[in-house]
Amino acid sequence: MSVESVLKLIADEQVEYVDIRFTDPKGKLQHVTVIADLVDEDFLEEGFMFDGSSIAGWKSIDQSDMKLVPDVDSVYMDPFYAEKTIAVHCDVVEPDTGESYDRCPRQTAKRAEAYLKSSGVGDAAYFGPEAEFFLFDDVRYSVTPQKVAFSIDADAAAWNTDAEFEGGNLAHRAGHKGGYFPVNPIDEAQDIRSEMLSTMKSIGIKVDKHHHEVATCQHELGMIFGGLVEQADNIQKYKYIIHNVAAAYGKSATFMPKPMAGDNGSGMHVNMSIWKDGKPLFAGDQYADLSMEALYFIGGILKHAKALNAFTNPATNSYKRLIPGFEAPVLRAYSARNRSGCVRIPWTESPKAKRVEARFPDPAANPYLAFSALMMAGLDGIKNKIHPGEASDKDLYDLPPEELAAIPTVCGSLREALEELEKDMDFLLAGDVFTKGQIEGYMELKWEEVYKYEHTPHPVEYAMYYSV
């Protein structure tokens, strides 16, 4: 859209408000709402001042003035507000110079796309994220000196087969690890997911499917691939829509990777491909009909996987999902169709659909930073011709111990991921896509989470140690 078309939309649709939205370093969508009367050509081109010191990991109080500049290509009609409102995603810039703020995640994603073009490797990168989530009916938690606890419940949960409900218990439920793909009434969320997908379509997201996932109360909606920045924007819209449609049904949605023990966690598989001069760079005559560039791209991801974990798996909770036995891709291996390694090459008949799927990311990730980091790792692989070695076409979950020990793994904790990022960040600094100050600021935020987690007693510790 152009500035003129946005102003025409505001006038034609009698829009009352414009919601200015941006993403903070941790990946949370933030907003401020402006009355539409104040939105003119100057506003859309020059931006809106705000206090950057109030955003964790950004400016200090003495340098707090920052500017949000709307990206008019991202405009959409908000589907939830009572008053007619359009929303627009913004980039953060320095008000005195007009230059992009190096810690703005969306600007990082834009620099990543520009770096790809300047590298000569390709001129377009396509991303297809697949983010899973859970729906619950009741969620309570407490973190105080005298009580650390949580409680989750849902009528559809596997543990409620013996619960007493007003009107009776109808008993049709997906068991633990049994939610993929039974029809209703076992799949109780068909209508909720359909409304979520329809709402996504109504604001311009290209969608294709939805379904119940493996775990009890776990779900996924499908988006059709798009550009790096476009899909990072779409993941933010995806989360926003799922949270709000769920709330309208009296449900609570969470993208927490592992909200319960004993069942599968939520991942965010990321499909990636690079094109050059209108042709798919990843199609070729090597393993699984990949090109050498695609193999090198995989090699870069596998080499830098532990550093990538700091962005693709950025929560302490992420590593309760990345454990063997729950379809979690913990092994740094690749193969065609096999879902047990970190990287998979999905089967396809068309060279245009040839792509690489990173399976270890999860939906706690900031999509702008995670997608950018994955692409930078892959481009480093192409630049330095990092071959990934032989493919692993066996079921990696069922290997003998001696074979399993020979395959490297991803990180086992956020602490380890941050330590690995400290040692291996140069590939992210190429082309000034990420800056060292940005990475260090991000790590400071994440170390705070690590310390809070490590210093808080856990209920299971009482079960194991209270009576020693």
Pairing of strands 29-35, 17-23: antiparallel
d(CA 394, CA 341): 10
pLDDT per position as a tens digit, 203-233? 999 999 999 999 999 999 999 999 999 999 9
Last residue of a domain, one of 101, 135, 168: 101
Q: Report, as an integer, the average pLDDT of 19-27.
A: 96
- Together in a domain, 11 and 138: no
Instruction: Show which residues are catalytic.
Output: 51, 130, 132, 213, 220, 269, 339, 357, 359
Look up tokens 């592992």; give the residue.
258
- The answer to whether residue 8 sits within a structural domain is yes
Q: CB of 343 within 8 A of CB of 334? A: yes
Q: Report, as an integer, the average pLDDT of 429-441.
A: 97
**DSSP 8-state symbol, 351:** G
- Together in a domain, 151 and 199: yes
84 among the known binding-site residues? no
Q: Is the peptide bond before 185 cis (omega within 30 degrees of 0)?
A: yes
pLDDT class of 149 with cuts at 50, 70, 90: very high
User: Which of 15-29, 61-75, 122-136 has the weakest average pLDDT?
Assistant: 61-75
Q: Report, as an integer, the average pLDDT of 430-447.
A: 97
Instruction: List 90's β-bridge partners, or say none.
Output: 70
Residues 6 or more apart in contact with residue 56 via CB below 8 angstroms: 24, 25, 26, 445
- The answer to whether residue 57 sits within a structural domain is yes
- Together in a domain, 257 and 196: yes
pLDDT per position as a tens digit, 231-288? 999 999 999 999 999 999 999 999 999 999 999 999 999 999 999 999 999 999 999 9
Per-residue model confidence (pLDDT) at position 401: 81
Per-residue model confidence (pLDDT) at position 252: 98
pLDDT per position as a tens digit, 341-369? 899 999 998 999 999 999 999 999 999 99
- The answer to whether residue 111 sits within a structural domain is no
CATH code of the domain covering residue 392: 3.30.590.10
339 among the known binding-site residues? yes
- Together in a domain, 251 and 183: yes
- The answer to whether residue 381 sits within a structural domain is yes
- The answer to whether residue 158 sits within a structural domain is yes
62: pLDDT strictly greater than 70: no
**Greater confidence, 384 or 56?**
384
d(CA 376, CA 117): 12
- Together in a domain, 288 and 409: yes
Can you give the pTM of this predicted structure?
Answer: 0.96
How many structural domains compose the chain?
2
- Together in a domain, 224 and 337: yes
How confident is the prediction for the chain on average, in pLDDT?
95
Instruction: List 268's β-bridge partners, or say none.
Output: 131
- Together in a domain, 293 and 207: yes
Nearest to 357 by CA among 371, 345, 375, 374: 345
pLDDT per position as a tens digit, 36-53? 999 999 999 999 998 888
431 among the known binding-site residues? no
- The answer to whether residue 206 sits within a structural domain is yes
357 among the known binding-site residues? yes
What stretch of H or E contains 151?
strand 147-153
Q: Report, as an integer, the average pLDDT of 60-80.
A: 89
132 among the known binding-site residues? yes
pLDDT class of 61 with cuts at 50, 70, 90: low
- Together in a domain, 42 and 189: no
Percent residues over pLDDT 90 in the chain: 88
Q: Is 184 left (phi over 0), alpha (psi -120 to 50) or beta?
A: beta
- Together in a domain, 297 and 394: yes
CATH code of the domain covering residue 94: 3.10.20.70
pLDDT per position as a tens digit, 299-346? 999 999 999 999 999 999 999 999 876 667 899 999 997 777 899 999
Pairing of strands 331-336, 341-345: parallel
Per-residue model confidence (pLDDT) at position 407: 87
pLDDT per position as a tens digit, 86-139? 999 999 999 888 899 999 999 999 999 999 999 999 999 999 999 999 999 999
- Together in a domain, 141 and 37: no
pLDDT per position as a tens digit, 371-414? 999 999 999 999 999 999 999 887 777 778 888 788 899 999 99
Backbone angles phi, psi at 35, to 5 degrees: -65, 140
- The answer to whether residue 115 sits within a structural domain is no
- Together in a domain, 67 and 200: no
- Together in a domain, 138 and 244: yes
For residue 28, the enclosing domain spans 3-101
Q: CB of 68 within 8 A of CB of 50? A: yes
164 among the known binding-site residues? no
pLDDT per position as a tens digit, 74-90? 999 999 999 999 999 99
**Greater confidence, 170 or 326?**
170
